[in-house]
A and B are shown apart, each in its own frame.
Chain A
């Protein structure tokens, strides 16, 4: 056991040591790509009407007249000190902007993953139980279709149907315009519970329902398909057959042997999905006017707000890399077949 633990620790150390290199590559790429992209924040802030003197003044004020190499070193130095700088357009610290909008994204991501699992797993089971029947075909087509639908299109369709035609759901936002939202952690559902505010709890769930169920619905196909495939493969494996021959009950085989093994690849898929949602379901947030990190990124790109774009990309990169690392270590720990 201690040898295993040492191995895992070594493996984890190797993985962790790669993180700074990955982040350096990502941050340098972001810096270069933003500078190569045409247009600059001065034009976005002042529009086409400002004269050259005003532009130069603002450029100097924002530090955009310094040489690129100086800008790069000061940027890397700031990142090393966990200082993401100030937004060029609002002068608000980038970290504050990220921390303000991150809870909205994480809340949406969490409920979407839960919805995806609630919809996807039962469908996967149903498909497998009825293998080769109409239901199985339906589940498989459902899996492919939901995976193939572009999220923004699905979001627009859901919004049109449930918000405009049936008026079941708010058109966008996280909370009713005419109510004061609880402010503790930034996670509105959690804040409503912490403040014992039932109305706020109901309203935040009501606003969360359509975006999270729609995103969950679109993600559910991956879960149903991967569960069906992996479970099917596991149930055909030798050790399951051996267990059946030994007379162990089917329920026990399924729950204790087949399911845990079938879930291993799903952990990887879940990790990747959670990571991509944490990075922001970009057009999803734009469609539902969801004030999360992706909406901020979208606005920052259109305003050429270099510091904010850099900050958001690096922050989400850290998040994604950390989640991947966690999943890698978890799989390594759970799956004895993995060599490390």
Chain B
């Protein structure tokens, strides 16, 4: 009797807690969650996917990539006009567009934004020395003068880091960052900012189509389990998948198949690969690199590590930028790998020892390394011995150019939507001696591989455009694939999940969700 009474009191107490103490959802705004916090809303500083996602809702870029990878004018009124010598790009701007502070958007804003980014931008290296000067011949026309022809500038014009900001509002911040505010031309205005929570409301004076919702509350949780739990317990409406564990990704994918959530995918843009140090023993030997490449079972790794959600890739350029899925890099063939190793006097008592470094703070990297090691133990046990070595990511980045790692697992997402944004950081080199890069991008990605042919093709590609340019870039990849400075593993996409009462998220070609298209469909 006494026990029953205690149990009843406990149940009543719990019900009371659940029904009366819980936060009542009084807002019609949509709650979007992702991992981590936003340090800065300054487009010149933003380098996390989360900040880029929010800035792209608060501001407009000159151009945007649609889901087919095509350039679509946003603040530009038409496509860029390129001069005959390809050293001048003229962009006409949209009229009657206002910043959130009420000032007019014009060519001065573009000049101010570009020059500010070039001066203080954290990632200003993406511009390099491409831009010589910016002219403003009229209020709604901008001329970008280039130091040398650059076809990749079209892609750069879609970069969120170059989102136009109000010169009036940022007057005192032309040489320093403004982290907690943002004044752009976008569909939303920022109403509240803290590192963990950001609130945005529809911009009533927006020049284009108005958002379909009454605002977005952006929240960051510090770990993957909290994000997963928050979506499952319906405490958030939309979950962006950056940094969510693969097992939880898979679980959400299965729940979506059972109609518990709606799932959306961005185009595949994040490349995971193994960088091979080609300038010293043992991997200065092409046959050994080829053997290693042929021993990597991408399909198995994708299934074991990502439950098949990441796409095995034999290319370092994302399919959306290449317009096809063709892969040039070596296929998995362990028998062929054995023959190559035997040719180099391994497998007959001698075992090729390869130290493989992975980033210990990236869970997928360790699983990739373990799966590959296990596969090699099964099929090439007498030929290759993979020794695993976990190192924290910042240490890996610091040591890459020092040539410390024989083989290291890395990933890369292009800073802008262009094949060049994938090829240049991995393959370009400023100083090549006997096929070894002494100074340049491939040193910083740990491969030390260089090719004069590739460099001349890079230069040629700057002078042409369209299909011809794409063919040149594909040729560069083909040359690299024959030399195997890297082993592409897979290519991943961003994912987002929404509750059933919210419309399905839509990604653009750059992997950014259109927050304005999110709509409450069941109130």
Instruction: Please list the residues of chain A having a beta carbon within 8 angstroms of any beta carbon in chain B.
Output: 38-40, 43-54, 58, 89-92, 156, 159-160, 163-168, 170-173, 176-180, 202-203, 205-206, 209, 285-289, 291, 295, 298-299, 302, 304
18 further contact pairs, Cβ within 8 A, besides A43-B397, A170-B23, A171-B229: A39-B393, A39-B397, A47-B47, A48-B444, A49-B125, A49-B412, A58-B122, A91-B177, A159-B226, A165-B233, A167-B235, A168-B14, A171-B235, A205-B21, A206-B21, A209-B21, A286-B222, A289-B226
A50–B123 CB distance below 8 A:
yes
| Per-position 1/0 for B406-419, Cβ under 8 A of A | 00001010010000
A171 contacts B230, CB within 8 Å?
Answer: yes
CB distance from A340 to the nearest CB of B (A): 45
Partner of A286, one of B195, B223, B233: B223
B179 — nearest CB in chain A belongs to which residue? A90
Residues of A within 8 A of B410 (CB): 48
A298 proximity list for chain B (CB < 8 A): 222
Neighbour of A178 across the interface among B40, B217, B399, CB < 8 A: B217
Q: Within 8 Å of chain A (Cβ to Cβ): is B342?
A: no
**CA distance in complex: A206, B27 (Å):** 18
A–B Cβ pairs within 8 angstroms, 24 of them: A38-B392, A39-B398, A45-B122, A46-B123, A48-B410, A49-B444, A50-B125, A53-B125, A89-B39, A159-B226, A159-B229, A167-B22, A167-B233, A171-B221, A171-B226, A173-B219, A177-B219, A178-B26, A178-B27, A178-B29, A180-B192, A285-B222, A289-B226, A302-B361
Q: With the chains together, A156 CA to B221 CA distance in Å?
A: 14
B399 near A38: Cβ-Cβ < 8 Å: yes
> Are A48 and B400 CB-contacts (below 8 A) given A39-B395, A172-B226, A304-B394?
yes
Which residues of chain B come closer than 8 Å to A287, judged between CB atoms? 222-223, 225-226
Q: Closest residue to A164 on the B side, CB-wise?
A: B229
* In contact, B31 and A291 (Cβ under 8 angstroms): no
Closest chain A residue to B194, Cβ basis: A291
Kindly supply a per-residue 1/0 record for chain B positions 6-22, scoring 1 wherever the CB is within 8 Å of any chain A CB and 0 otherwise.
Answer: 00000000100110011
Closest 9 CB pairs of A and B: A39-B394, A178-B27, A38-B395, A164-B229, A43-B397, A39-B395, A54-B125, A171-B230, A289-B222
For residues 360 through 391 of chain B, which have their beta carbon under 8 Å from a beta carbon of chain A? 361, 391
Q: Mark each residue of chain B from 486 to 521: 1 if its CB lies under 8 Å from any CB of chain A, else 0.
A: 000000000000000000000000000000000000
User: How distant is B426 from chain A, measured CB to nearest CB, in Å?
Assistant: 10
Residue from B18, B125, B221, B223 in contact with A167 in the complex, judged by beta carbons closer than 8 Å: B18
B195-231 contact mask (Cβ, 8 Å, vs A): 1 or 0: 1110100000000000000000101111101100110
| Smallest CB separation, B34 vs chain A (Å) | 12
What band does the interface of chain B fall in when counting residues whose beta carbon is under 8 Å from A? 35 or more
Please, which residues of chain A bring their CB within 8 A of the CB of B18? 166-168
Q: Closest residue of chain A to B14, judged by CB? A: A168
Check if A90 sits within 8 Å of B39, measured CB to CB.
yes
- Whether A173 pairs with B125 at a CB distance below 8 angstroms is no
Closest to B37 in A: A299
Residue of A nearest to B219 (CB): A177
In the bound complex, residues from chain B placing their C-beta under 8 Å from that of A54 are 124-125
Is B453 located at the chain interface by the 8 A CB criterion?
A: no
Residue in contact with B398 in the complex, picked from A43, A176, A285, CB distance below 8 Å: A43
Contact with A along B444-470 (1 / 0, CB 8 A): 110000000000000000000000000
Cα–Cα, bound, A206→B235 (Å): 14
B263 at the interface (CB under 8 A from A): no
B315 in contact (CB, < 8 A): no
Choose one: B179, B199, B225, B412; the contact of A92 (CB below 8 Å): B179
Residues of B within 8 A of A51 (CB): 125, 441, 444
Interface residue B401 (Cβ < 8 Å from any Cβ of A)? yes
CA distance A40 to B398 in the complex (A): 7
**Is B73 on the interface with A (CB-CB < 8 A)?**
no
Give the distance to chain A from B467, nearest Cβ to Cβ, in Å. Answer: 27
Checking B23, B195, B394, B441 against A206 with a beta-carbon cut-off of 8 angstroms, the contacting residue is B23
In the complex, how many angstroms separate the beta carbon of B447 from the nearest chain A beta carbon? 12
B403 within 8 A of A: no
Known contacts A178-B217, A289-B196; decide if A40 and B31 are in contact (CB<8 Å): no
Q: Please report the C-alpha to C-alpha distance between residue A52 and residue B223 in the assembled complex, in whole angstroms.
A: 32
Residues in chain B near residue A180, CB distance under 8 A = 192
Assembled-state Cα–Cα distance A291/B221 (Å)? 10
Partner of A289, one of B47, B199, B223, B397: B223
Residues of chain B with a CB closer than 8 A to A179's CB: 23, 26
A46 to B361, CA, bound (A): 17
Q: Which residues of the other chain, B, contact A159 by a CB distance below 8 angstroms?
A: 225-226, 229
Chain B residues with CB under 8 A of A177: 31, 197, 199, 217, 219
- Complex CA–CA separation, A205 to B17 (angstroms): 12
Q: Does B319 contact A (CB under 8 A)?
A: no
Q: Which residue of B lies closest to A90 (CB)?
A: B39
Task: Tell whether A176 pairs with B23 under 8 Å between CB atoms, given A39-B392, A48-B410, A48-B445.
Answer: yes
Contacting residue for A202 out of B21, B219, B415, CB 8 A: B21
- A-side contacts of B234, CB under 8 Å: 167
Provide the bound-state CA to CA distance between A287 and B224, in Å. Answer: 9
User: Which residues of B are found within 8 Å of A44, using beta-carbon distances?
Assistant: 394
Q: Chain B's nearest CB lies how many Å from the CB of A317?
A: 24
B232 interfacial contact with A, CB 8 Å: yes
Do B401 and A164 touch across chains, with their CB atoms under 8 A apart? no
Q: How far is the CA of A39 from the CA of B361 in the complex (A)?
A: 13
- Please indicate the chain A residues that have their CB under 8 angstroms from the CB of B37 in the complex: 299
Task: Tell me which residues across on chain A come within 8 A of B122, comparing CB atoms.
Answer: 45-46, 58
Q: Which residue of B lies closest to A152 (CB)?
A: B223
Taking CB atoms, residues of chain A closer than 8 Å to B441 are 51
Interchain nearest-CB distance for B178 vs A (Å): 11
- B84 in the interface, Cβ–Cβ < 8 Å? no
B contact residues around A286 at 8 Å (CB): 222-223
B229-273: CB near A (< 8 Å → 1, else 0) gives 110111100000000000000000000000000000000000000
Instruction: Please measure, in the bound complex, the distance between the C-alpha atom of A63 and the C-alpha atom of B37, giving whole angstroms.
Output: 26
Residues of chain A contacted by B401 (CB below 8 angstroms): 52
Given the complex, which residues of B lie within 8 Å of A92, measured CB to CB?
179
Chain B residue nearest to A206 in the complex (CB): B21
Counting CB contacts under 8 A, is B25 at the interface? yes
Q: Does B425 contact A (CB under 8 A)?
A: yes
Distance in angstroms between the alpha carbons of A288 and B227 in the assembled complex: 11
- Nearest Cβ distance between residue B249 and chain A, in whole angstroms? 17
Shortest C-beta distance, A41 to chain B (Å), equals 8
Is there an interface contact between B226 and A178, defined as CB atoms closer than 8 Å? no
Beta-carbon contact of B195 and A178 below 8 Å: no
Q: Which residues of A lie under 8 Å from residue B412 when comparing CB positions? A: 48-49
Complex contacts, B217 vs chain A, CB 8 Å: 177-178
